[in-house]
Structure 1
């Protein structure tokens, strides 16, 4: 394990670890979508910034 890392060694990733720490594709996309609305810059959610920049590039 790298110094200061919380990531377990590849050899310690047994089936129990995989069940606890890995997600299906759908679960991963759902979690990413939820996070998109929780991450904030200058008091605006990342989702709002994405819409703002998308609207600017369409012009």
Structure 2
């Protein structure tokens, strides 16, 4: 499975001339349990995580 299979782009929006907002959703079928760390296919929630100042295109 490649990286392109792990997420879907939900939104790309130019905030201002220097900033772009991108929202992606993870599409993997299994994830680690926050409690025990074991893999599970029953995923209850996916937290929203903000990444700031991520440099792209140079």
State if a TM-score over 0.5 links the two structures: no
More helix by share: 1
More strand by share: 2
Q: Which is bigger in relative contact order (C-alpha 8 A, separation at least 6)? A: 2
User: Normalised by the shorter chain, which TM-score bucket?
Assistant: under 0.3
TM-score, with structure 1 as normaliser? 0.25
Larger Rg: 1
TM-score, with structure 2 as normaliser? 0.25
